[in-house]
Chain A
Amino acid sequence: MFILKEIGIILGGPQGAGLETSMAILGRALTRKGYGVIADREYFSNITGRHSYIHMLISSTKLPRSLGYPVEILASIDAETVFTHFKDVAEKGVVIYDKNQLDKNIDNVPSMEDYTRERIKIILARLGVNPTIENIVSYLEKERNVVPIEIDFISIIRKITERFKIDPRQASRYVSGLIVSAISIVIGLEEKFVRYGFEQQFRERRHLIEHNMALYELVYDSIATFRNIVKVDAPRIALNKLMILTGNDAIAIAKIIAGVRYQSYYPITPAADESFTIEKYEYNEVNGKAVGPIVVMQTEDEIAAICSAIGASLSGARSSTATSGPGFDLMVEGISFAGANEVPVVITYYQRGGPSTGQPTRGSQSDLMNAVFAAHGEFARVVLSSGDHVEAFHDTVEAFNIAEKYQVPVIHLLDKFLANMIASVPVPDIDRVKIERGKIVFSRSNYKRFDLSNLISPRAYLGADNIVMWHSGDEHDEYGHIVEDPENRLKMYSKRIEKMKLVLEETPSDIKMGVYGDKNPDYIIVGWGSVKGVALDAIEMLGDRIKLCYINMKLLWPFPQKEFLEIVKDIPRDRIIAVEHSHGVNIASLIAMSTGITIDRKIAKFTGRPITLNEFIEAIEKIVYRNEKRMVLAYGA
């Protein structure tokens, strides 16, 4: 096999087998060597037994931004992984499998959904392959030149449990280390990096480092002939220090740096991990400087989460909450209160598949309109989205600055893809972090919280010396007392809404949107959030054939009409393509209502799986060369 610049891996097994651990170990080990890594985690709403997998890309030349198919390595812990992903293995790739699963028939995989089983059986029947692992492996070997790498999982793990006198009931804990070892050997990752990965992962359970290194040696002996069979180029990325983390972690860390000192949440996928990470850092001292204390409050529901975050903000804390669609729905009345009372608060909203419970562990961008329009009455709010981990870090800080400067609720609209995806990224530049708290009054007689002499009334915190003030969800006067007078209503209602003009005037253009690619494009692609990585890779790959530009919309509300119109002014309307992980590609509707531009070329994906590079490129080609209007993508298991 020739030497590759990048390789794709699918690493699959039952939920609960430690795939997330495998992902973390491999990610750190590969980053240590200097590779760029990105990995998406796909899983069911289930604790144990359902099929989950990691889709990873390793690059020797850059920090990867997107995933694609086919993959060079399919590493399976169980039979279901082989059945589910065999068709995604590249010509001349490898499949790693457990010898003990060879005679497993697809009908004997109870964890597989019936619908999926029937779908795969049809595919296998068309290929003339009987639905057993043995037959599939043999098919891959003969028809696709795939190298089968067989490992006797049971025998290797038994050796470990015997050698270290481990309770056999704990044997399954070693599967994650076994598969990490196998992948490392196949791609020729040196032992010291593997050891580094284990050391980092098991810092607090050091005996596991020794166990896993012994495991590595056993796997090595068992598959030594396949060492470095998948050849990936030596890393050539000019960064000596990287962070490797999930989107949840990136945002949690950003919140700590932004000065969040009250974070509330009710457990929900895929948002809860963010609050866990903040809690881990609830109080620290670095060089004698206190970071915290941060009160992380698990509330009784999302209503209490938003209301208590608003309360904490009234007391002067930078406060936020994190949730997903169902939780956000419950928060809506609270957001309306924050709007009416001009309370700064940040809601980090990780979209998942809806409606209702929908696909709780799958990704989606179908809640754009919910974020922008949910809540009764009219008031200023800001909706900000981020395209990747680094953007999400800086946008998190910005979200609090906007919230406090304009005294508005800010919804930071993200998704499950970003939340759970690990990526190796440059260490954020802390000098870039600006903390702007807006106009604050610390003491004043006859203070008016809602002073009408300016659009932004200087804010005082509850408890400020000599200040007594009122807030009310009812329409109120400058002091915060209930007033229904029509003239007061006109002034107060308008003041709150007109703050949006200031947001549009004062927000720097790089927070509003990012424009990438050709300055004189044939086509402009518009998207937001997690579309960014795959879009940038696609426009680069297609660049020699089609001149493309990608607009990464970040400030979604208020919509930056002026800047958007400027970018698209020279492009014919039928050469704009909107992309979104949704059915409606709702960004097109938001653009239409904000600018009058109708976009009828759309790329939609709503299977809950991220848009992959292969299908995205194909979709653009079909739009450009075959004049397709709407492409619906569905790749990925």
Chain B
Amino acid sequence: MERKWDYKTSLWVDWCPGCGNFGILTAVVKAFEELGLDPSKTVIVSGIGCSSKIPHFVNVNGVHTLHGRAIPFAMGIKLANPELTVIVHGGDGDLLGIGAGHFVALGRRNLDIVVIMHNNGVYGLTKGQASPTLPLGVKTKALAKPNIQQAVNPILLALASGYTFVARGYAFESTHLKNLIKMAIKHRGAAFIDVLQPCITFNDVFTAEFYRKAIYKLDDDPSWDPVVRKPEEAREKLLKSIEKSLEWGDRIPIGVFYVNEYVLTFEERLNKRLYKYPAINPSNATIEINGKSILSQQEFEELFKDYIVVVER
């Protein structure tokens, strides 16, 4: 029997005891195990912050990048080698504050990448400042005054941006979250999971206790079907998911909000132009033969003939 790959590294996980990130890490590792992902063909790309340390704790390729920039790094990695499974992890400040432009751009492209947002409402590593998902008027314990800026709705933004798989999980509903991650990885196109996550140290408002009371599973309603099953349904399903995304407060839905596999992925769009892509791609295309150009002088002149002028004597 084949030896099972250990998807956890041996590093000590340096999050605060009780941190929601532990639940997310468990779900990620379990999802990878169940999917049997090849660790050398899988890449976790993260930004900066507590949650963005996650690549070091998972035994697949990890690229721990810059604050807010995990998505563009991931985009380059994936476009150059479309064979890779690429998963982005970042906090809410990372993805929706400093990196919001990239978050929107990924939706527009529908590139086959999974974005998992660790959403705790605060900037933990810098001692608890308000993040873009903390509602207006909320005063968490590190804040001197109540939050003066409004929250952005991550699900609504993802839907508006064009993500074709949009879901919300909860850090301590680990099995539910694991299943969402598996679905997101299997989905073709840009997938987003908003993961509600208590910050035990700095967020004393949106606590584990708060979420335990507020969250409910969309799946509990047998009539909830977020999947676009034929292209004509897309608008209706999108409108329903938008409506659902507005629920917040006493009752917060978790589960899948929207799935649409009828939108062309970026890889498919590229294929229409670069017709050998993704089979032949930037990471495996031949660019030299024994250290020389793949083109001879004559072939070079043929390819760039538009720029060449033969003098007529």
Contact = CB atoms under 8 A, between A and B. Distances in A.
Q: Do A and B bind each other?
A: yes
A312 B152 CA distance: 31
A314 B309 contact: no
B309 A468 contact: no
Interface in A259-312: 259, 261-262, 264, 281-284, 286-287, 289-295, 297, 299-301, 303-305, 307-312
Interface residues of B, number: 73
A437 interface: yes
Nearest to B63: A471
A590 to B, nearest CB: 28
Interface string B57-84: 0011111111001011111111111011
A261 B83 contact: no
A299 B105 contact: yes
A549 interface: no
A351 B45 CA distance: 32
A242 B308 CA distance: 6
A463 B104 CA distance: 27
A551 to B, nearest CB: 30
Interface in A215-262: 235, 239-245, 249, 253, 257-259, 261-262
Contact of B102 (A241, A304, A435, A480): A304
Interface residues of A, number: 89
A242 to B, nearest CB: 5
B285 interface: yes
Interface string B288-305: 100111111101111110
Main secondary structure of the interface of A (DSSP, over half): mixed
A239 B81 CA distance: 43
Contact of A262 (B80, B275, B295, B311): B80
Interface stretch (B35-43, B128-136, B213-221, B230-238): B35-43
A244 B288 CA distance: 26
A466 B64 CA distance: 20
A440 B31 CA distance: 32
A473 interface: yes
Given A32-B309, A314-B63, A295 B270 contact: yes
A464 interface: yes
Given A307-B69, A481-B56, A264 B63 contact: no
Contact of A315 (B11, B77, B104, B295): B77
Contact of A307 (B72, B270, B296, B312): B72
A346 to B, nearest CB: 14
Contacts of A235: 311
B134 to A, nearest CB: 25
B85 to A, nearest CB: 10
B36 to A, nearest CB: 15
Interface stretch (A62-70, A159-167, A426-434, A501-509): A426-434
B136 to A, nearest CB: 27
A462 B81 contact: yes
Interface stretch (B174-182, B189-197, B276-284): B276-284
Given A424-B309, A482-B64, A300 B77 contact: no
Given A32-B312, A300-B102, A334 B66 contact: yes
A436 B55 contact: no
Contact of B76 (A262, A289, A473): A262
A468 B56 CA distance: 11
B48 interface: yes
Nearest to A307: B72
A334 B56 CA distance: 20
Contacts of B281: 261, 293, 295
A563 interface: no
B297 A463 contact: no
Contact of A312 (B56, B79, B297): B79
Contacts of A308: 72-73, 75-76, 79
Contacts of B78: 311, 315
B285 A315 contact: no
Nearest to A431: B297
A13 interface: no
Contact of A435 (B39, B69, B83, B293): B293
A470 B79 contact: no
A584 interface: no
A297 B288 contact: no
A209 to B, nearest CB: 16
Among B9, B55, B64, B76, the most chain A Cβ lie within 10 Å of the Cβ of: B76
B274 interface: yes
B101 interface: yes
A316 interface: yes
A353 interface: no
Contacts of B41: 463
A297 to B, nearest CB: 7
30 contacts: A33-B312, A192-B312, A240-B313, A241-B308, A242-B309, A257-B293, A261-B285, A284-B303, A295-B270, A295-B277, A295-B282, A299-B72, A303-B69, A304-B72, A304-B101, A307-B76, A311-B78, A312-B76, A312-B79, A314-B73, A314-B77, A334-B66, A337-B66, A435-B287, A462-B77, A463-B81, A466-B40, A467-B61, A469-B61, A482-B56
Given A465-B40, A482-B64, 16 more contacts: A193-B312, A240-B310, A242-B309, A243-B307, A243-B309, A264-B76, A291-B303, A293-B274, A293-B285, A304-B102, A307-B66, A311-B63, A311-B73, A312-B282, A462-B43, A469-B61
Top 10 nearest A-B pairs (CB, nearest first) are A311-B76, A259-B287, A293-B274, A308-B76, A261-B282, A317-B282, A315-B80, A304-B72, A435-B288, A312-B80
Interface of B: 9, 11, 39-41, 43, 45, 48, 53, 55-56, 59-66, 69, 71-81, 83-84, 101-102, 104-105, 270, 273-277, 280-288, 291-297, 299-304, 306-313
Interface of A: 28, 31-34, 192-193, 196, 200, 235, 239-245, 249, 253, 257-259, 261-262, 264, 281-284, 286-287, 289-295, 297, 299-301, 303-305, 307-319, 333-334, 337, 424, 427-431, 433-437, 461-474, 480-482
